[in-house]
């Protein structure tokens, strides 16, 4: 059975108690933490910088942290996020002038590198850099806000990226971000994703443990429900 990773987006956490809320979702059974960085330039919203990431590390958050940069330009903030404790750093290719250089920069700073593709971004941006990637993030909403509706066009895109990864015999995580809920996670898993960002679909509940348990059941049953 394939391993599935749950990555709560703390954009939907209670920011007045960010450390505590983050710890709670980890204790409830999450695998990593998804950290959304927005700059009111690449996307029309403003969120968190490296200082907040550092504060979470200081608060003894030790799980991998998956930093999703929705910022333009990208390069100057990479050393700061790496130093603050990022595990993965993922960026949008159209937000940087030299994609390959930015990927190298992330690696040079000791982090794993990811590319994030918006719903309308074609897959050929992956050509020529595939072997440098540890993670591919497919946006299933347009970036900028939590609590949006999952775009069904993502299902085919997941299948296509999964085919590309497998046919090249590469070990790249396939992450999906936006509008994931208990109700659609099994179908997303069946399309080939193995990392699931979940913001409002988790934080809106008061009992994180219970909802994560239900999500795991959905994931474990996903193959029997969607593959015939
Ligand atoms: C959107 C962010 C997402 C968002 C997910 O731009 O990249 O990570 O927080 O939130 P939900 O799961 O509520 O769509
Ligand atoms: Zn994100």
**pTM given for the model:** 0.97
C-alpha 221: how far from chain center: 22
CA of 181, closest atom in ligand 1: 12
As beta bridge partners, residue 116 has 137
C-alpha 132: how far from chain center: 17
Q: Which of 181, 174, 173 is nearest to 214 (CA)?
A: 181
User: b/e per residue, 69-100, with b = 16+ CB within 10 A?
Assistant: bbbeebeebbeebbebbbbbbbbbbebbeebe
Pick the CATH number of 5-227 from 3.40.50.300, 3.20.20.70, 3.30.300.180, 3.40.50.620: 3.20.20.70
- pLDDT (tens, 9 = 90+) of the chain, 228 residues, equals 569 999 999 999 999 999 999 999 999 999 999 999 999 999 999 999 999 999 999 999 999 999 999 999 999 999 999 999 999 999 999 999 999 999 999 999 999 999 999 999 999 999 999 999 999 999 999 999 999 999 999 999 999 999 999 999 999 999 999 999 999 999 999 999 999 999 999 999 999 999 999 999 999 988 777 765
Cα torsion 119, 123, 125, 128 to 10°: value is 160
pLDDT at 2: 66
Which residue bears the tokens 């997303």? 188
Q: Is 36 in the pocket of ligand 1 (CB under 6 A)?
A: yes
CA of 203, closest atom in ligand 1: 13
pLDDT at 224: 73
CB neighbours of 127 closer than 8 A, spacing ≥ 6?
A: none
Of the bound ligands, which one is closest to the alpha carbon of residue 179? 1
Q: Is 147 in the pocket of ligand 1 (CB under 6 A)?
A: yes
Q: Is 184 in the pocket of ligand 1 (CB under 6 A)?
A: no
Taking a 5 Å cut-off on Cβ, the residues next to ion ligand 2 are 36, 68, 177
Cα torsion 216, 219, 225, 226 to 10°: value is 160
Task: Please tell me what DSSP assigns to residue 172.
Answer: -
Determine the Cα–Cα distance for residues 56 and 50; give it in Å rounded to an integer.
Answer: 10
Q: Which of 110, 108, 163, 117 is nearest to 136 (CA)?
A: 117
Of the bound ligands, which one is closest to the alpha carbon of residue 141? 1
As beta bridge partners, residue 5 has 195
Determine the Cα–Cα distance for residues 81 and 84; give it in Å rounded to an integer.
Answer: 5
Determine the Cα–Cα distance for residues 88 and 211; give it in Å rounded to an integer.
Answer: 25
pLDDT at 227: 61
Element holding 90 (H helix, E strand): strand 88-91
């Amino acid at each position: 059975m394939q391993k599935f990773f749950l990555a709560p987006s703390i954009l939907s956490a209670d920011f007045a108690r960010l450390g505590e809320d983050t710890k709670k979702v980890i204790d409830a059974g999450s695998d990593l933490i998804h950290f959304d960085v927005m700059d009111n330039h690449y996307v029309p919203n403003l969120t968190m910088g490296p200082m907040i990431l550092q504060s979470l590390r200081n608060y003894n958050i030790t799980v991998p942290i998956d930093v999703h940069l929705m910022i333009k330009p990208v390069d100057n903030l990479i050393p700061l996020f790496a130093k603050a404790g990022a595990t993965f750093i993922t960026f949008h290719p159209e937000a940087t002038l030299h994609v390959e250089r930015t990927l190298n920069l992330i690696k040079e700073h000791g982090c794993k590198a990811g590319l994030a593709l918006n719903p309308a971004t074609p897959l050929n941006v992956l050509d020529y850099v595939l072997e440098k990637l540890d993670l591919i993030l497919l946006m299933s909403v347009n970036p900028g806000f939590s609590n949006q509706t999952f775009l069904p066009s993502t299902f085919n895109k997941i299948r296509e990226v999964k085919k590309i990864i497998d046919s090249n015999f590469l070990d790249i995580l396939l992450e999906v971000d936006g509008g994931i809920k208990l109700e659609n996670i099994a179908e997303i898993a069946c399309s080939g994703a193995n990392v699931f960002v979940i913001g409002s679909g988790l934080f809106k509940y008061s009992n994180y443990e219970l909802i994560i348990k239900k999500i795991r059941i959905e994931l474990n049953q996903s193959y029997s429900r969607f593959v015939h």
